[in-house]
Amino acid sequence: MKKYIALFFLVLVGFTSCTDFLMEENKTQYSQDYIFNSEGGLGLAVAALYTLHRNYLGDDSENNTTWAVERGTDIVMTNGGTGNFYGIYDPNHLKPSAAQVSRMWSRMYQIIGRCNEIITAGEQMEPTPELKKSIAEAKAFRAQSYFLLFRTYDRIWLNTEPVTPENVNDKREYRPATQDEVYELLYSDLRYAAENLDWTSEQPGRFNQAAARSILAKVALWNKDWKTALNQADTIELAGHYKLLDSPKAVFEGADLNHSEALMVQQWSENPGGNLSTSTPKGHQFATLFIAMSRSVIGGTNEEACSVENWGYTFGRCLPNPYLLSLYDKTKDARYNDWFIHRYKNTSSKDVTYGKVTVKPGEYFPATKDGAVDNYNLPGCTKHGDVTTRELFASRGYKDIILYRLADVYIMGAEAALRLGDQTKAKYYFNKTWMRAGNAEFTGELRMQNIIDEEAREMCFENDRWYFLKRLGLLIDQVKKYAGNEGWNASLTGRTNLPANPHFVRWPIPEEEVINMGAENFPQNVGY
């Protein structure tokens, strides 16, 4: 898929909203008539959706909504930067005017608008198998976007009608959709996608049946529809197209993550056109955010301080906290070492004074600085670590990002089976990730706490923990007990800010959207 990125960009230039294309000259070889009135044109329009989504995840790290929700869980220490207020639930900044609040809402509705145009156009054509695939991908994208909005804001505007020259000036009805309406659309879109997509895609990075079923399983868990969730897990498992890799380390090793455990992988490349630009794309910053900034301890220039051993240039904005690391059996669970760096090495050619200690070249820094926590020297998560696609001192890289993973399906299957009282199947799915990590088979009575802890161990820093805890009604309690690092006081304020402001379990509606839709039609979320 990577070799087509530049082509997708050219399509995207002409693939604007209806109000834009009425005023703009089409400067590509693809006319709007071709895009929306031919099977091949719709295929190109669908491909452009992947560029939009890649651009969303590649946003500037300080305002990226991905990191906002990642910071606010029980298993991390959030550490400085513009978006830090989401991790500590700062009431002075977590508000309707925040950049992150607006960015997620607007970017997802931008994608939804494109999906509506593709789906409506496609449904008016002869339903060939290839056309159905294009519609299925668009429906998967629409469901993915609406599901993210629904989980984040609770109240969303549900619209499936495209903007056309005929209706662009029509008055629209703005109102919060009911939960039943949201679930009805999500089920419909994802079931269509599952029925019309192959298990694997010819082009890596495209939506496939497994990814659609994975999202549907998660939607069903939110809807307390345990049977549907378990059925999706069973269907993926019995199909036999995917399997766990032999070791946790292999899951995130290297830059190309298209392997048997990854259901869908976002493709990154230095090819022009990868991020809404005809120049070389800027890449993403996933590699920098979850590993401590040891370069500041070593000193010197970035070129001197950044090394392969310490995972190159890092920001250290969102780090694993002691609670997360305590969930692993250090003597058995391979994930403790495969997915985390616990010590940093002096990779320079000079002695480095660290508190009262002198660390010689090639030696490791002590875990604490004169017995106190040093945020530049804390453990980091290396899942997104990247020392292959970028210069070691560069802040952006091109390592692939796994969007949906078989391990998550197994954890969802374990929960669904447990909810249905099926201990045998629940343990079958639970043991998939548990034993792959090197632990002895779990044979006792499986409880929900086992699944809560295993979700943290397996899926940490993959952008689902905040939503997982919210769904279970545990977000406030877990943050109050465990968030942050006891040795770093600045990371602990969320423990009191969130309980004091329970409305922070949902984001506010962006203030400009409330104004545009009318507060009388779409009032702000309670508490903001």
What is 380-392 written as a DSSP string? EE-TT--SSSS-T
Number of domains the chain contains? 1
Quote the CA–CA distance of 110 and 20 in Å, as a whole number: 13
DSSP per residue over 199-256, as a string? SS-SSTTS--HHHHHHHHHHHHHHTT-HHHHHHHHHHHHHH-S----SSHHHHT-SS-
Please tell me the number of Cα atoms within 13 Å of 401 on its side-chain side.
22
Quote the CA–CA distance of 14 and 22 in Å, as a whole number: 11
Domain-located, residue 475 = no
Domain-located, residue 453 = no
The pTM of this model reads 0.93
Pairing of strands 352-354, 340-341: unpaired
The alpha carbon of 6 is separated from its chain's Cα centroid by a whole number of angstroms, namely 24
Quote the CA–CA distance of 171 and 453 in Å, as a whole number: 49
Domain-located, residue 361 = yes
Counting residues of the chain whose pLDDT is more than 70, the rounded percentage is 92
Res 36: pLDDT: 87
Domain-located, residue 327 = yes
Res 274: pLDDT: 54
Res 65: pLDDT: 86
Domain-located, residue 150 = no
Res 164: pLDDT: 83
Structural domain including 386 reads 281-399
Please tell me the number of Cα atoms within 13 Å of 501 on its side-chain side.
23
Structure tokens at 70: 């990642």
Domain-located, residue 393 = yes
Structure tokens at 349: 């050619």
Return the higher-pLDDT residue of 7 and 105: 105
DSSP state of 4: G
- Among 504, 304, 296, 313, which residue's Cα sits nearest to residue 396? 313
Domain-located, residue 334 = yes
Domain-located, residue 525 = no
The alpha carbon of 308 is separated from its chain's Cα centroid by a whole number of angstroms, namely 25
pLDDT in tens, 95-144: 999 999 999 999 999 999 999 999 999 999 999 999 999 999 999 999 99
Quote the CA–CA distance of 360 and 353 in Å, as a whole number: 9
